[in-house]
Amino acid sequence: MDYPELREKLVETIIKGVELNPLLRSAGNCSVRISGGMLIKPSGMTPEEIKPENIALVRFEAFGGGLEGNWEGTDAPSTEWRFHLASYSRPYVNAVVHTHSPHTQAFSCYRKGLPPLSYLNFIMGPDDEIPCTKSFEPAGSDALARQVKELANNGADSMFIANHGFIAYGKTLNQALERARVGEALAQN
């Protein structure tokens, strides 16, 4: 099994992420960049079920080419793998945490960005506003991945996904998870 330490850290982050929405145990996902691809949460498993060997490895070639022959693991990767891969087109991004936490999910239905409300916005990144994707697109779709990639490449360190949830980026999994927590707090205000 490649990347045992990163797999352990990813499982730990998945478990910590449940604090953001304890009612939706398998909702949301996270990933971490590796050489040539990413490690990502498996599809449909609750955090308590996930072991390091369940973490899927997806190669960058899957973006545009599909999963066939471009992933490894005992369990299929999250259905959201496309927007995770799209996020890694930005070199700064080493970790992605995606949540369906209550307040960010509710705010995402406005389909607009969140202006600076407090000093906490600065934890989220250098932008004045936390942006939102332009329109609702089905979960796991290429269209959603394109919208996410556009905002990421425009410098967003976090974003709302219209009528869906929230994405936070980081240089580390800890930084991405903290941005997801702060995003939930800001959306609650």
Q: Give catalytic residues, as residue numbers.
A: 80
Chain position carrying tokens 């409300």: 117
